[in-house]
Amino acid sequence: MTNTDTATETVTDEVVRDPQAHYPENSPQPVAPPPKFDYDLFVIGTGPGGEGAAMQAAKGGMKVGVAERYRQIGGGCTHWGTIPSKALRYAVTSTMKSLKNPVMRELGFSVAPTMEQLNRGTQTIIGRQVSMRQSFYDRNGVPIHRGQCRFLDEHTVTIDHGEPITAAHFVISTGSRPYRPAGVDFTHPRIFDSDTILSMQEKPTSITVYGAGVIGTEYASMFRNLGIKVNLINTREKLLEFLDDEIIDALSYHLRDQGVIIRHNEQMDKIEGRPDGVILHLKSGKVLKTDVFLWANGRQGNTDDLGLENIPVEANSRGQVVVDEHFQTCLPHIYAVGDVIGIPSLASAAYTQGRSAGMHMLGQASGNLRLHDIPTGIYTSPEISSVGATERELTDKCVPYEVGQAQFRSLARAQITGETTGMLKLLFHRETKEILGVHCFGANASEIVHIGQAIMNQPGKQNTIEYFIETTFNYPTMAEAYRVAALNGINRLF
């Protein structure tokens, strides 16, 4: 048999039919060819959530493409939020700590750094982050399409109205931006939001921060460390109500002790920008005037230019997409992760959500990668971090718990570094000694919390406060606080 004959036989194995013809009832039916897509997965946005999904899927063998509307990858986390704000915070805290050092004062050092000087290293750090993250995409063969991505239908998108791109799956990871209410003139040179505040050129003598959530309290603390007079306006009864009450009290005390004026249960009436400052009129009748104003009250999901009107997926009034426990939207092949789905709105959570979505597509995981125990990380001065239940939650559930505390002022390492403000608090079950919550307030809290997080997630009897009593910690270290807190808690039992 010739090669031609073999080819002919191979072709005739497929059922090819005229759609107009009539076929017997039990004859083989035509076989539709499988759908062809440009990508197995197309990710919209290159922030932590998009990166997590793209890398997980690519390493799992999927053909992946991503879209990014900005010139550089990394999303708001890299360019406007987490990285630049934490870089500025480090510059502020390290500089002011050095200037307050008795040795530096004795040597006659007394300077006032400018905002430009404090921000000088930020762009270098951002550049390193972009370069590193670009290498991830290059190494895994994931092309980046530049421009605004919009859905044309359930399996098709276009970049800046260019050629259609098709994919079997999508991940929406477009992030969020500061919510901007009508009536606030954000074009005024003295009125900022959390995306624009880092571009402030001159250091003001006073600032009003409207909104006392995570972003508001972080910036209030940072600016007060620079010697700027701060008004912190809270629309609720307490600061950061999701935290343990004792941590809330400690944060409130230390902010006030540093000189921050906190006003609770207030609502904006109007904001008046003037050439020499900004006047905030509150509905309670109070009127505040400061050099600059920072709006830090809420965020908006970036879904308004995504073409969602062409598919069944909808966004709520804040631009957020509703997903299930697998991060699937109402269309199972379209996922959404990160800030665009709302709380917890953390870069750390977004990356894990993206990985979880990727693993779900690959059939490698049916859960959501331990997203039930995401630690908080709040970069005030001092830091706050916690994981697990609060005293308020345990009391409401009638759980018999006990508390173990370690005051940082009693730790040798804290005494050496001079960072004695703060504490570590362990909540554990009185009978089983199971660790139920870890709460830390003080220097390096966001690092310290992970030790407790690891132990409290061990199975069965391996999660016990006695682990910290029986373990030898390096001395002097901040981690030693776990031993001190565990002993303090065990001594309360009878």
pLDDT at residue 99, as a whole number = 72
Q: Which domains does the chain have, with CATH numbers?
A: 39-177+300-372 (3.50.50.60), 191-297 (3.50.50.60), 382-490 (3.30.390.30)
Contact 230, 332 (CB under 8 A): no
Q: Which helix (H) or strand (E) holds 103?
A: helix 102-106
Contact 40, 169 (CB under 8 A): yes
3-7, 51-55, 107-111, 215-219: range with lowest mean pLDDT: 3-7
pLDDT at residue 328, as a whole number = 94
Among all chains, which residue has been given the structure tokens 């990710």?
43
Residues comprising the binding site? 86, 174-176, 211-218, 298, 339
Residue 25 has pLDDT above 80, yes or no: no
| Tens-digit pLDDT profile for residues 435-450 | 999 999 999 999 999 9
Confidence category of residue 117, pLDDT binned at 50, 70, 90: confident
Among all chains, which residue has been given the structure tokens 């609720």?
236
| Tens-digit pLDDT profile for residues 273-306 | 999 999 999 999 999 999 999 999 999 999 999 9
pLDDT at residue 17, as a whole number = 40
Residues comprising the binding site for NAD(+)? 211-218, 298
pLDDT at residue 319, as a whole number = 94
Strand pairing class (376-378; 156-159): unpaired
The DSSP annotation for 241-296 comes to: TTS-HHHHHHHHHHHHHHT-EEE-S--EEEEEEETTEEEEEETTS-EEEESEEEE-
Q: What residues does 280 pair with on adjacent strands?
A: 271, 288
For residues 448 and 424, what is the distance between their CA atoms, to the nearest angstrom? 9
Residues 129-155, mean pLDDT to the nearest whole number: 96
The pTM for the full model equals: 0.87
Among all chains, which residue has been given the structure tokens 């426990």?
325
pLDDT at residue 120, as a whole number = 82
Residue 397 has pLDDT above 90, yes or no: yes
Q: Determine how many CB atoms are found less than 10 A away from the CB of residue 407.
A: 17
Strand pairing class (39-44; 64-68): parallel
For residues 489 and 408, what is the distance between their CA atoms, to the nearest angstrom? 16
Identity at 127, one-letter amino acid code: G
pLDDT at residue 67, as a whole number = 97
Residue 32 has pLDDT above 60, yes or no: no
H, E, C per residue of 69-135: CCCCCCHHHHHCCHHHHHHHHHHHHHHHHHHHCHHHHHCCCCCCCCHHHHCCCHHHHHHHHHHHHHH
| Tens-digit pLDDT profile for residues 317-363 | 999 999 998 999 999 999 999 999 998 889 999 999 999 999 999 99
For residues 248 and 251, what is the distance between their CA atoms, to the nearest angstrom? 5
pLDDT at residue 23, as a whole number = 38
Residue 12 has pLDDT above 60, yes or no: no
Residues contacting 83, CB < 8 A, separation 6+: 74, 77, 122, 125, 126, 129
Please give the C-alpha separations between residue 326 and each of 176, 336, 352, in angstroms, as whole numbers: 20, 9, 12
Identity at 110, one-letter amino acid code: S
Confidence category of residue 123, pLDDT binned at 50, 70, 90: confident
Query: Which three-class secondary structure state does DSSP give residue 90?
Result: helix
Share of the chain above pLDDT 90, in %: 79
Share of the chain above pLDDT 70, in %: 90
For residues 332 and 247, what is the distance between their CA atoms, to the nearest angstrom? 40
Q: Radius of gyration (Cα) for the chain, nearest Å?
A: 27
Confidence category of residue 116, pLDDT binned at 50, 70, 90: confident
Among all chains, which residue has been given the structure tokens 């939650």?
393
Residue 5 has pLDDT above 50, yes or no: no
Residues 252-277, mean pLDDT to the nearest whole number: 96
Contact 455, 428 (CB under 8 A): no
Residue 3 has pLDDT above 60, yes or no: no
Residue 392 has pLDDT above 80, yes or no: yes
For residues 295 and 379, what is the distance between their CA atoms, to the nearest angstrom? 18
Residues contacting 204, CB < 8 A, separation 6+: 228, 290, 291, 292
Residue 169 has pLDDT above 80, yes or no: yes
Residues comprising the binding site for FAD? 86, 174-176, 339
pLDDT at residue 308, as a whole number = 96
Local structure of residue 97 (DSSP, 8 states): H
Strand pairing class (206-210; 229-233): parallel
Residue 119 has pLDDT above 80, yes or no: yes
For residues 327 and 57, what is the distance between their CA atoms, to the nearest angstrom? 15
* Nearest C-alpha neighbor of 439 from the set 410, 413, 473, 403: 403
Among all chains, which residue has been given the structure tokens 């290159």?
46
Residue 34 has pLDDT above 80, yes or no: no
34-48, 55-69, 231-245: range with lowest mean pLDDT: 34-48
pLDDT at residue 438, as a whole number = 97
pLDDT at residue 93, as a whole number = 86
For residues 423 and 384, what is the distance between their CA atoms, to the nearest angstrom? 10
Contact 80, 86 (CB under 8 A): no
Confidence category of residue 15, pLDDT binned at 50, 70, 90: very low
Helix and strand totals (H; E) in the chain: 15, 22
| Tens-digit pLDDT profile for residues 360-376 | 999 987 666 666 788 99
The DSSP annotation for 8-49 comes to: HHHHHTS----TTS---TTSPPPPPPPP--SEEEEEE--SHH
Among all chains, which residue has been given the structure tokens 């909540």?
427
pLDDT at residue 373, as a whole number = 81
First to last CA, the chain: 92
The dihedral over CA atoms of 409, 413, 415, 419, expressed in degrees to the nearest 10, equals -70
pLDDT at residue 366, as a whole number = 66
